[in-house]
Amino acid sequence: MTTINRQRLMNHFFELVKIDSESRNEKRIGEALAEQLGELGFDVHKLPVPEAISNGFNIYARLEGERPDSVVFSCHMDTVTPGIGIEPVIEDGIIRSKGNTILGGDDKSGIAAIIEAVRAIQEQNLNHKTIEIAFTVHEEGGLFGSQHFDMSYIQSDKAIVLDSGGPIGTIINAAPGQQKIVANYIGRPAHAGLAPEEGISAIQVAADAISQMKLLRIDEETTANIGIVQGGNATNIVMPELKVVAEARSLNDDKLSMQVKHMVETFQAAVIKHGAEVNIDSSRAYNAFVIADDHPHIETIKASFEAIGATPFTKGTGGGSDANNFNAKGLTTVNISTGMAKVHTTEEFIAIDDMVKITQFVEHYLTH
């Protein structure tokens, strides 16, 4: 029988989403959470990050347990835009924003679940595993907080990130790596009406390259996309410069490297053909991870989901999360659903029942 305080969970979630914390502006929510964790008896550390990433800090917190095991629970503190002045409303057991902002369940539903589970455990004086907390800044748009997380504090060998959607019981055990490719084409300007043959059209060169490129769904593990094309000032000028921003993703790092190589070489081949120039910046945003379905960490998580009446299942995803960076740093990490839906839109919502259920999961996992 659970002792999750449904009203307290809701009140805390509402309190969190009302704290403005768009990416790079996490100082206020960081201070609030550091204080709340301290009040619960955690040993709290505010871990500095580069100023370009955030005006705040990552949080590491630790609460010693009586049970022999330990785990890291992780969420990110930032939200996407528009995330200022969020007003949550409840309709028929569903929490939404008033409609002019996102809700911020991504990822404050996870934070609220962890803290309510700890409060419930302490009220009952239950023995629990040692709890480590890793709350990150600026996850949205680049996983920057986890990239800069000081792993020297982490003592457990496994982690659970609460930052996914889908039914309660969803366990993300595979996610792709991502490479960002920026190609800056340099042609030669000329008057498009008087002497077009004297020019080299940067967009024509880029178009030639893109038309030769394998894009979108490459195979079941790999995707690639041209997302941004910027250039040009007037129709009467042969376009002298063009910026093309692309990405590639794959669950398989070798396949990702091959796709990136193909894209870069295709960008370069068009330059040779047309007598233009290109400067290419190719950088790995994060690496892929795949954890076996029968890994002991996943088996334990499945057992707790089953105990609270949820049906656990593993699946891969096409997107990255802090779990990518923690796995890359040697910490076996899965990402689980809090029930959030339509994230990154003003239609974002989450069911109260799902929030209670994921909190029950955290409580059960920590006490068994």
**Catalytic residue set:** 78, 139
Q: Residue 200 burial (CB < 10 Å; 0-12/13-18/19+)?
A: buried
HSE-up of 20 (CA within 13 Å, CB side)?
9
- Measured distance CA(201)–CA(240) in Å, rounded: 6
Closest among 37, 172, 26 to 112, alpha carbons compared: 37
Residue 52 carries which DSSP code? T
DSSP, collapsed to helix, strand or coil, labels residue 28 as helix
Pairing of strands 170-175, 313-316: parallel
b/e for 339-354, b at 16 or more Cβ within 10 A?
Answer: bbbbbeeeebbbbbeb
Phi and psi for 85 in degrees, rounded to 5?
75, 40
210 is written with which tokens? 């893109």
DSSP, collapsed to helix, strand or coil, labels residue 334 as strand
b/e for 274-299, b at 16 or more Cβ within 10 A?
Answer: bebebebebeebbbbbebeeeeebbe
C-alpha dihedral sign at 359, 48, 332, 44: negative
